Amino acid sequence: MLTSFSGSRPRAATLALAALLLAGCQGTTSEPGTSAPAFVAADGLPAGSPGQAPVARQPGVAAPVAGAPVPDSLHLVSPGRAGRLRPGLSEKELRALVPAGQLRPGPGEAGQQVLGLLDASRPEAPATRLFFAPLAGSGLVLKRIFITDPQYRTAEGIGVGSPFGAARQNLGFTRLRDTPFGLAAVSGQVRLAWLIDPNSLPAGANQHLAPAAIPTAARITGIVLY
C-alpha cells in the first residue's frame, strides 16, 4: 500500500530508524563492496530479501508519481544503483551476486566485454547490458549499466515508458548528452541518464538542443547508470 496517514508518521519514522539500526547490528548488508542500508518499505519495516516484495519508497524519497508502477527491490533504480548492481563492482563481485545462468555474452565494441543480464522471473524481458573495462592490476570493473526493461523504476515509479517530464520534475535535469545508445537527458544529482525516443524529438536533435525543446511527453526508452 502506498497510502499514508498523517497520524501515523511519528510511529513510521520511529520504526524506520529502528529498522535501520537493527539492520546495521545484524549485518544484513552482505553485498560485496557496499555498505548501503537494507531496503525499507513505506511502513518503516525491512522489505526482506531483494525482489521479495514491492518497495513503496526509500527513506527520504517523495511518494511515487500518481498511477506509476512501483518496483520491487531487485528492480529499484536509485542513485548509482539498479537493484543490487552498481557501477564500480568488479566482475568477481558481480558473479558472486548473480547466478551464472542469468548472464550471457552481449554485443560490444572490439576489446570490450559486455554481459547481458536476464531477469530471473521474466527471462523474456529485455536483458540489461553490463559494460566492463579493465581494472587496475587485473580483472574487469563494471562501468555502465544500460536498462531497457520496464520493470526497473525509481522509487517515484519512473522508468522505461515514462514521460520525460516526470523525470525532469521529480529528479531534475542537468544536460543533454550524446551516448553510444542515443540522445540522453542527464539527471546529474541522481547520476542517471534517460534515453529519449528520437521519434518524440525535433528532427536532427543532438546534445545542443535547447532544453525547452524537449517535449514533456517525450518517452523514456532506456536508463543509463554510469
At 119-173, the pLDDT tens digits run 988 999 999 999 999 988 789 999 999 999 999 999 889 999 999 999 999 899 9
**Whole-angstrom distance, CA of residue 166 vs CA of residue 7:** 29
- Which residue range(s) make up the domain with 195? 77-225
Question: Cell 544484513 maps to which residue?
Answer: 28
Predicted pLDDT at 154: 92
**Whole-angstrom distance, CA of residue 159 vs CA of residue 69:** 9
- Does residue 53 sit within a domain? no
What CATH number is associated with residue 105?
2.60.460.10
pTM: 0.71
- Does residue 66 sit within a domain? no
**Whole-angstrom distance, CA of residue 65 vs CA of residue 193:** 19
- Does residue 210 sit within a domain? yes
- Does residue 10 sit within a domain? no
- Does residue 61 sit within a domain? no
Number of domains in the chain: 1
- Does residue 7 sit within a domain? no
- Does residue 196 sit within a domain? yes
- Does residue 40 sit within a domain? no
Say if residues 167 and 185 touch (Cβ distance below 8 Å). yes
Give the C-alpha distances (Å, rounded to integers) separating 94 from 79, 100, 132: 18, 10, 11
